[in-house]
């Protein structure tokens, strides 16, 4: 039966992929054209889009469906967009699910062709200068769950949105809207409608319509005559005059009976100034880190005053206030501070996860801090972990990064932290192919940093700063932070630091090479450098490997999980030799990162 089914129906299995083969490139090209139409009109950060790219899927703020290649999310909050959204732009993204253009300077009418975006679930346009009416066509978007239009200049009444059964969040506050709130929206809180001339539940009831249809005779009976009104006004004025005259006479009689007293007109002491109120920058305080809520150590980040000083290097769908309200999981404490994973309940409804590095002992002033962080924040390379945003306050200095699904190389190698994504992954899964891929990615990231200039170095290369994505591609993180903080001997004694380093603010590129060499040895041996320092001999990892090689016991150096794999001994030995070359005692004897990256590629590529 199976063979008969296969014989009669196998041609259908090839029909659909062949159809998609011709359809998908055309659809992706249409999306690209639509975004270019938008970019030409609103500019801002859309100028970062590389118009020579065949698809827009790698463009800033754009997310595509991995299967179809069509645009499903366009997130450009605080992207300095201005002007009007033209037709045949956003409205042509027919598979769009999320549109976030909040906190820009967009003007003109809301695009009516948004009704073509049948898949739209979240429409976030607050904090712009949109004017005109709310398009009634939005009622066609039956999948819409979030509609935020607050802080614009919209006018007219709210259309009847009775065809949006999935609408869960709604806000049109602080516009110029008027009229009655449609009954279908009565269940939303009153602050969703404030700052307008609206009425009806959940706001106060609308006043009854004025005017009746009676004749003149009826109106005469209900109105006061002009003479009656004049009499009332005259009587009121005379009564007030009599009251004032009586009070004045009584005051004069009382004054004449009172003995005059000499008053000492000494200078009035100056009014004491009100107590000075110290306005501090927001201070996030993580508490209850061991509460264990939702199977993670959760703390609450509490804001204590100040303005939003969160500086973003790109797409940021939350504010400082939302960040400081987030629950947080402490990932670890390091030389430069404490790292948390924050879970942000943002306005886009879904929970956003972001890594927050809370720096300690920052030793540079605000200007230098901002210059150094911003020079690092603009670096773009596929093997660098970009800085997402930063905050500089009086007491708090924060760096923000995206979460990496697989965590760090350290947690994967040594199993000290089991995240929800790498739980269940043991060292047996770290094959030679995976380890060599990680080594090559890390080498390329560090090589790129060194290519910027001869004085540019990472300063703190270690396995916990090598982050991994789903495909085990490596991302080098926390580059440049060593120049911002003052450290004690902790960094020098972490097992990665080159022997010549005495000042952690002046770590050379050759010292980076030494640290990368230790990282290679860690990948091959499966041993953490800090553990090697604590063994009975007190010998660091490079010297232990070197002594084992000299005693012809190199095979005992390798991680047993690697030894079990066949036909990799020569490549493992070559990479081990490269690791020992990088960790020689004399800096001038170490290769450059260009040479190291090339050699790793030859061995592992």
Whether residue 505 is found in the same domain as residue 600: yes
| Distance from C-alpha of 561 to C-alpha of 56, rounded to nearest angstrom | 42
Long-range (24+ apart) CB contacts under 8 A made by 429-436 are 430/561, 431/565, 432/562, 432/565, 432/568, 432/571, 432/572, 434/472, 435/523, 435/524, 435/562, 436/571, 436/575, 436/600, 436/603, 436/604
pLDDT of residue 328: 78
The tokens for 53 are 């790219």
Residue 546 lies in a domain: yes
DSSP output for 413-446: HH-S---TTTTT--GGG--HHHHHHHHHHHHHHH
Residue ranges of the chain whose pLDDT lies below 70: 1-27, 209-308, 315, 345-351, 416-428, 487-493, 504, 530-539, 566
| Distance from C-alpha of 135 to C-alpha of 555, rounded to nearest angstrom | 72
Residue 321 lies in a domain: yes
pLDDT of residue 18: 38
Last residue of a domain, one of 368, 403, 438: 403
Residue 3 lies in a domain: no
Whether residue 37 is found in the same domain as residue 141: yes
The answer to whether the peptide bond before residue 117 is cis (omega within 30 degrees of 0) is no
Residue 77 lies in a domain: yes
Q: Per residue in 294-345, pLDDT tens? A: 223 333 232 233 346 888 887 677 778 778 777 777 888 877 889 988 877 6
Whether residue 437 is found in the same domain as residue 360: no
Residue 54 lies in a domain: yes
Residue 346 lies in a domain: yes
| Distance from C-alpha of 8 to C-alpha of 442, rounded to nearest angstrom | 51
Residue 461 lies in a domain: yes
CATH at residue 339: 3.30.200.20
Last residue of a domain, one of 367, 383, 403: 403
Domain count, the chain: 3
| Distance from C-alpha of 310 to C-alpha of 308, rounded to nearest angstrom | 6
The binding site consists of 357
pLDDT of residue 547: 87
Of residues 500, 501, 430, the one with CA closest to residue 466? 430
Instruction: Please give the distance of CA 596 from its chain centroid, rounded to a whole number.
Output: 34
Of residues 215, 214, 194, the one with CA closest to residue 203? 194
The binding site for ATP consists of 357
pLDDT of residue 562: 85
CATH at residue 592: 1.10.510.10
| Distance from C-alpha of 585 to C-alpha of 583, rounded to nearest angstrom | 6
- The size of the chain, in residues, is 605
Containing structural domain, residue 370:
281-403
| Distance from C-alpha of 488 to C-alpha of 486, rounded to nearest angstrom | 7
């Amino acid at each position: 039966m199976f063979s008969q089914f296969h014989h009669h129906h196998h041609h259908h299995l090839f029909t659909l992929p062949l159809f998609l083969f011709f359809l998908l490139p055309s659809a992706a090209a249409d999306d690209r054209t639509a975004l270019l139409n938008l970019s030409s009109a609103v500019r801002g950060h859309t100028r970062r889009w590389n118009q020579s790219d065949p698809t827009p899927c790698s463009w800033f703020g754009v997310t595509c469906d991995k299967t179809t290649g069509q645009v499903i999310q366009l997130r450009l909050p605080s992207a300095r967009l201005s002007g009007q959204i033209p037709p045949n732009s956003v409205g042509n993204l027919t598979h769009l699910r999320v549109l976030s253009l909040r906190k820009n300077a967009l003007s003109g009418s809301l695009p009516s062709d948004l009704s073509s975006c049948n898949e739209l679930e979240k429409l976030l346009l607050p904090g712009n200068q949109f004017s005109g009416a709310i398009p009634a066509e939005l009622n066609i978007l039956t999948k819409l769950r979030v509609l935020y239009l607050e802080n614009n200049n919209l006018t007219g009444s709210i259309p009847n949105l009775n065809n949006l059964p999935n609408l869960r969040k709604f806000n049109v506050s602080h516009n110029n809207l008027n009229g009655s709130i449609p009954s279908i929206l009565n269940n939303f809180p009153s602050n969703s409608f404030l700052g307008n001339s609206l009425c009806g539940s959940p706001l106060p009831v609308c006043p009854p319509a004025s005017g009746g249809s009676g004749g003149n005779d009826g109106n005469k009976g209900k109105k006061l005559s002009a003479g009656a009104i004049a009499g009332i006004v005259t009587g009121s004025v005379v009564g007030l005059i009599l009251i004032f005259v009586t009070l004045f006479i009584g005051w004069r009689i009382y004054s004449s009976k009172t003995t005059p007293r000499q008053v000492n007109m000494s200078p009035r002491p100056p009014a004491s100034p009100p107590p000075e109120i110290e306005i501090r920058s927001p201070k996030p305080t993580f508490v209850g880190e061991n509460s264990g809520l939702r199977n993670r150590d959760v703390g609450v980040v509490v804001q204590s005053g100040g303005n939003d000083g969160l500086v973003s290097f790109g797409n940021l769908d939350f504010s400082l206030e939302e960040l400081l309200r987030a629950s947080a999981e402490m990932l670890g404490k390091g030389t430069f501070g404490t790292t948390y994973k924050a879970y942000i309940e943002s306005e886009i409804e879904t929970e956003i996860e972001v890594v927050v590095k809370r720096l300690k002992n920052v030793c540079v002033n605000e200007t230098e801090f901002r210059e150094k962080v911003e020079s690092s924040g603009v670096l773009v390379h596929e093997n660098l972990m970009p800085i997402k945003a930063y905050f500089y306050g009086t007491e708090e200095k924060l760096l923000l990064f995206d979460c990496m699904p697989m965590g760090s190389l350290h947690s994967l190698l040594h199993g000290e932290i089991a995240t929800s994504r790498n739980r269940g992954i043991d060292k047996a899964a770290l094959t030679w192919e995976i380890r060599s891929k990680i080594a090559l990615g890390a080498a390329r990231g560090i090589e790129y940093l060194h290519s910027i200039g001869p004085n540019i170095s990472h300063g703190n290369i270690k396995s916990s700063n090598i982050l991994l994505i789903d495909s085990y591609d490596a991302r080098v993180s926390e580059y440049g932070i060593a120049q911002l903080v003052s450290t004690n001997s902790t960094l020098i004694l972490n097992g990665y630091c080159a022997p010549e380093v005495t000042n952690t603010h002046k770590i050379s590129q050759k010292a980076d090479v030494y640290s990368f060499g230790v990282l290679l040895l860690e990948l091959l041996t499966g041993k953490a450098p800090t553990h090697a320092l604590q063994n009975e001999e007190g010998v660091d990892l490079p010297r232990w490997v070197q002594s084992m090689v000299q005693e012809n016991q190199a095979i005992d150096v390798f991680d047993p999980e690697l030894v079990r794999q066949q036909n990799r001994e020569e490549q493992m030995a070559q990479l081990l030799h490269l690791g020992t070359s990088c960790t020689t005692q004399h800096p001038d004897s170490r290769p450059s990162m260009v040479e190291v990256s090339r050699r790793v590629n030859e061995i592992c590529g």
